[in-house]
Amino acid sequence: MKIYGIPNCNTVKRARTWLEENGIAYEFHDFKKLGLDENTIKQWLTQKPWDTLINRGGMTWRNLSDAEKAVVTDNTTATQLMISKTSVIKRPILVQNNILLALGFDEATYQQLFKQ
């Protein structure tokens, strides 16, 4: 299992803490340091729409100019944005065997996923 995010994000911290407290092994992928490749994002886009993967409430999105926001209209333009500004992605993203299990952190969702 892999969890994607950035280490200083409070939501990512809560998710990682929950996984650790419940004895669930995972690999952390820091996409600020390691980046993301186009194939990973394309895989996610087969499971979630681009406008769900992009965190429009976050500072990265809000700091984009109106012109930059207006360009993001489909999977291709969203992919380019997510590659160039990884912190625009809603996080954490929990993936197992290429299946996107959860987007964001909700304790009830994690409990259901792991039958806790």
Helix (H, G, I), strand (E, B) or coil at 21: helix
| CA dihedral angle for residue 15, residue 21, residue 27, residue 32, rounded to 10 degrees | 40
Is 9 known to be catalytic?
yes
Residue 116: pLDDT over 90:
no
Q: How many domains does the chain have?
A: 1
Do residues 90 and 11 lie in contact, with contact meaning Cβ atoms separated by under 8 Å? no
Biggest CA–CA distance in the chain, Å, is 45
Is this model's pTM higher than 0.85 or not?
yes
Cα distance between residue 114 and residue 97, in whole Å: 15
For residue range 44-79, list pLDDT tens digits in order. Answer: 999 999 999 999 999 999 999 999 999 999 999 999
Q: Which of 5, 7, 8, 9 is catalytic?
A: 9
Cα distance between residue 75 and residue 45, in whole Å: 7
Residue 50, domain extent = 2-114
Phi first, then psi, for residue 61 (nearest 5°) are: -65, -45
Q: What is the CATH number of the domain that holds 58?
A: 3.40.30.10
